[in-house]
Structure 1
Amino acid sequence: MKRSHRELKAWQQATQLVASIYSTTATFPQHEQFGLISQLRRAAVSVPANIAEGFARNGSKEKNCCISSALRVAHYRNWIHW
């Protein structure tokens, strides 16, 4: 039976990150709605999305590309010292 990306610990942690980012940014000032809040939320959502996309790819080169994208966004998150 084929495994699902939902079984990956990295994907599970990434979805927890999304929930955390959404709840934290809900407390930000309203004037950041279309700036920082939007940017953080889009970046957070892209991590599990890239992991899921990479998991669905057939070739290891394609998988590595998607996983690399997820890692870049995760490093960005660490850069802002969340």
Structure 2
Amino acid sequence: MFCEDDVAMVLAERQTPNHVLHLLLSIFSAGFWIPVWLAVTMLASGTYKCPRCGARTRAYVPRKFKAALAAKSIP
């Protein structure tokens, strides 16, 4: 993934809900936690973020950054 803020290719991350925790809360609350679990899962951020700066990443390098990225990688 490409980070526009760092002008670099990064290994992007995305946060997902902790399903084991929500399962345990659903069991201990006799199922009352299930609507909350569904809402958290549906509203979870599906975007990948840069681990260095937290900015949204892209799956491709935009044209305006290709020259800068090429210049950065040349020693």
Is TM (by shorter chain) over 0.5?
Answer: no
Q: Flag the structure with higher helix content.
A: 1
Q: Flag the structure with higher strand content.
A: 2
- Tell me the TM-score normalized by structure 2: 0.35
Answer with 1 or 2: which has the greater Rg. 2
